[in-house]
Amino acid sequence: MPRRLKFTISYDGTEYHGWQVQPGLATIQGTLEEVLSQIEGTRVDVVGSGRTDAGVHALAQVAAATLHNPIPTMNLRKAMNRLLPRDIRVLEVREAAADFHPRFQAVAKTYEYRIYREEICPPFERRYVHHHPYPLDERAFCEAASLYEGTHDFTAFAAADEKDSLGATKARTIFSSTARREGARLVYRVRGSGFLKHMVRNLVGGLLEAGKGNLTLQDLAALLRNPAARKLGYAVPACGLFLIGVEYE
């Protein structure tokens, strides 16, 4: 009997070319498929809740696959972690409904972006933060974050995507968008119905431009009101971005 399984996965994305399989390149999806195919004895396809970019990390990415192997879920988790590289860990394996799809059935995702503000970035932090020790109005950065809340067309904050030709809407709903200082880090957290390609990195780029005084709050608001007028074009590096979690009904 085929079994639909839901996986919760954590990974350090530094050494990977993103989530999606790419021929000849190390990816998170490709690595998971190799390990599950080895356990199953035949090819296994893995689908995820979304495609994280190269260098992006995840605390709790969600994926799914169909297996015939009757191995108990706890033993499967142990077997996968034994075979996976140490920068990818399976936190949980659960039985799921036969039609479970981690992307189409997700109702919300939360991302966090971490900016290191001190002059010297410790070497053990460098893979997981964007080091920005330069002058910045952090109050303006934090105040601007709430502008993104609500339902907007985020075309101005999205990179070109191969699916653009399909004409799909770029409207998304942001449930919460906040920023605050936490020790040496300036941390931005956003929870939304879904996100476009490079969208979170561009949202943070907009906040940085506001903090630098290059954009006003009115400028950012105008990008949401008239998204076709221009592209923001200030995507921050991927290393500071974490997928925190994915929510389902």
- The catalytic site residues sit at 53
Q: Across the strands, what pairs with 107?
A: none
Give the separation between CA 31 and CA 17, rounded to whole angstroms: 11
DSSP state of 52: P
Contacts of 169 by beta carbon, 8 Å cutoff, 6+ apart: 153
Query: 150 in helix, strand or coil?
Result: strand
Residue 214: CB atoms within 10 Å: 11
Give the separation between CA 115 and CA 30, rounded to whole angstroms: 29
Give phi and psi for 80, each to the nearest 5.
-65, -45
Q: Are 214 and 27 in contact (CB under 8 A)?
A: no
